């Protein structure tokens, strides 16, 4: 007998006044530099016309500053007081809201539907000929399924899914509440399934492609059944309930068809994603066509730059941009003859186009100029560090323990202790690991110059091992 669930109204489940909620299309969250509006982009895809609409909205209703996020979204900073509703209406009117959501829709419905679009794909989804499948259609079906179920409005805006088609370029370090990764199964494709982790971890089972939507729906119901009031992520439920209890509850919610294929689970391995694939020009097809990738310094651009990117996408590609989880952007479907010129135009816009650029290896949160919780101006400090950064070193600067700019543990993390001073952590890549969020604490209260020296010394010692 199927388990009966109580109907939860979107307005009640949404908890619009939740103080720690993420920004969204309708939920503009106050920050030190003004409001923050986050535009969720399914698959990271942003058409040229909509990119111009975002730039126009940022110029008209905010201070013109935009950020690319580590979930492949775009957010507008500095939203002016009193302009929040007009900004949201402009963006929804440009087609940047969930399907079926219009300007006249109730705020609860628009906000709830918007927050159920956290499905991360590879930036090359539907483009990479080496992928096992095109995940874009399945991703759209998952989002539609979640938006049609009123109960799922109770999910946290942070609750996220990953759908991996085995593309050569994919973010494999961000933990997701549910992840699915394609694996070959004879002439067809199945999906390995994991919870509260990454596709590099061991799956809990496999699903046939046709069973993904119904089974994920059952898992989401089971999660909500077992989640306490403070349990917003899958890891919270698994900390208080066994995996078996979660799966048994999912069985009570319709067609949950998780398979325990011992051979597939034992041999599961997700190849790494080379970091140089996200920057520069790369051919995907025999005729030399492919994509060009770049990233703005520390993930931040202005409205004129976004307009210029939209024009470049029309001139050199297929009139779309793909925002990446490395706070970058790809121009897909660029002909071979247009590659070099497109790359040069990106460079002329001030974007980073090579891993050799130190700014390609730095991540920094908004910092104290925009966030009251930050103990340092991380953006400015990151630019100072870039001049001193050792070759190949990758560093994440965060103004507080929340680590908003990086969902993964970077090789080195600088956690602000005071203005211009940081504690240095190094990731422990041994099998046992240190168990700490940022890795092993190396030194405390370092200036940027001292931190650069410590990182250089540790980078050399690691290479010598």
Asked whether residue 18 is assigned to any structural domain, the reply reads no
Question: What tokens does 308 get?
Answer: 């210029």
Asked whether residue 395 is assigned to any structural domain, the reply reads yes
Helix (H, G, I), strand (E, B) or coil at 318: coil
Q: Return d(Cα 14, Cα 16) in angstroms, integer.
A: 5
Domains contained in the chain, number: 2
Q: What is the pTM assigned to this prediction?
A: 0.90
Domain boundary among 233, 253, 273: 273
Asked whether residue 247 is assigned to any structural domain, the reply reads yes
Q: Percent of the chain at pLDDT above 70?
A: 90
Asked whether residue 14 is assigned to any structural domain, the reply reads no
Region of 175 on the Ramachandran plot (φ > 0 left; ψ -120 to 50 alpha; else beta): beta
Q: What is the pLDDT of residues 256-308, one digit of tens each?
A: 999 988 887 888 999 999 989 999 999 999 999 999 999 999 999 999 999 99
Q: 374 and 232: one domain?
A: no
Domain boundary among 215, 240, 273: 273
Strand-pair category, 119-120 with 161-164: parallel
Q: What is the pLDDT of residues 55-106, one digit of tens each?
A: 999 999 999 999 999 999 999 999 999 999 999 999 999 999 886 554 444 5
Q: Which residues of 307-336 are buried (b: 16+ CB within 10 A; e: fewer)?
A: bbbbebbbebbebbbbbbbbbbbbbbbbee
Domain boundary among 222, 251, 273: 273
Q: 264 and 365: one domain?
A: no
Q: What is the CATH number of the domain that holds 400?
A: 3.30.413.10
Cα separation of the two ends of the chain: 59
Q: 247 and 377: one domain?
A: no
Strand order in the sheet with 34-39: 29-31, 34-39, 74-79, 65-68, 300-302
Q: Which ranges of the chain have pLDDT less than 70?
A: 1-21, 99-111, 430-435, 461-465
Domain that includes residue 460, residue range: 360-464
Asked whether residue 311 is assigned to any structural domain, the reply reads no
Asked whether residue 390 is assigned to any structural domain, the reply reads yes
Q: 123 and 226: one domain?
A: yes
453 and 422 Cβ atoms separated by less than 8 Å? no
Asked whether residue 6 is assigned to any structural domain, the reply reads no
Q: Percent of the chain at pLDDT above 90?
A: 81
Q: What is the pLDDT of residues 10-38, one digit of tens each?
A: 333 333 444 446 899 999 999 999 999 99
Asked whether residue 294 is assigned to any structural domain, the reply reads no
């Amino acid at each position: 007998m199927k388990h009966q669930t109580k109907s939860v109204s979107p307005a009640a489940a949404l908890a619009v006044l939740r103080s720690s909620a993420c920004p969204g299309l309708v939920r503009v969250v106050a920050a030190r530099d003004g409001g923050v509006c986050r535009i969720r982009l399914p698959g990271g895809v942003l058409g040229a016309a909509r990119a111009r609409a975002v730039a126009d909205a940022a110029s008209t209703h905010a201070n013109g500053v935009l950020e690319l996020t580590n979930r492949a979204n775009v957010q507008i900073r500095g939203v002016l007081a009193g302009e929040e509703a007009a900004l949201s209406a402009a963006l929804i009117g440009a087609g940047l809201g969930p399907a079926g959501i219009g300007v006249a829709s109730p705020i609860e419905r628009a906000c709830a539907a918007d927050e159920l679009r956290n499905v991360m794909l590879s930036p090359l989804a539907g483009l990479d000929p080496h992928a096992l499948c095109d995940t874009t259609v399945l991703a759209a079906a998952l989002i539609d399924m979640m938006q049609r179920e009123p109960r799922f409005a109770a999910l946290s805006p942070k609750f996220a899914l990953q759908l991996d088609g085995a593309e050569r370029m994919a973010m494999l370090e961000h933990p997701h509440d549910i992840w699915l990764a394609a694996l070959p199964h004879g002439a067809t494709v199945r999906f390995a399934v994991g919870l509260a982790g990454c596709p590099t971890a061991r799956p809990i089972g496999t699903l046939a492609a046709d069973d993904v939507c119904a089974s994920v729906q059952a898992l989401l119901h089971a999660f909500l059944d077992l989640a306490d009031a403070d349990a917003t992520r899958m890891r919270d439920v698994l900390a208080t309930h066994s995996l078996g209890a979660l799966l048994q509850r999912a069985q009570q919610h319709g067609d949950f068809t998780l398979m325990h294929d011992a051979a597939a689970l034992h041999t599961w391995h997700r190849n790494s994603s080379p970091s140089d694939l996200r920057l520069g020009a790369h051919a995907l097809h025999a005729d030399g066509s492919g994509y060009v990738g770049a990233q703005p310094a520390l993930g931040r651009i202005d409205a004129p730059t976004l307009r210029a990117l939209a024009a470049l996408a029309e001139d050199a590609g297929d009139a779309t941009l793909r925002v990446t989880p490395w706070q970058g952007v790809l121009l897909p479907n660029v002909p071979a003859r247009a590659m070099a010129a497109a790359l040069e135009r990106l460079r002329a816009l001030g974007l980073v186009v090579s891993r050799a650029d130190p700014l390609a290896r730095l991540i920094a949160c908004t910092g104290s100029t925009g966030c009251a919780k930050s103990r340092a101006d991380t953006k400015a400090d990151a630019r100072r560090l870039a001049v001193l950064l050792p070759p190949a070193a990758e560093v994440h600067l965060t103004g507080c323990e929340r680590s908003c700019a990086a969902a993964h543990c970077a090789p080195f993390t600088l956690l602000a202790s005071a203005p211009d001073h940081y504690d240095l952590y190094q990731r422990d890549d041994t099998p046992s690991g240190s168990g700490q969020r940022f890795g092993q604490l190396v030194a405390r209260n370092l200036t940027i110059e001292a931190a650069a020296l410590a990182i250089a010394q540790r980078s050399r010692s690691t290479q010598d091992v």
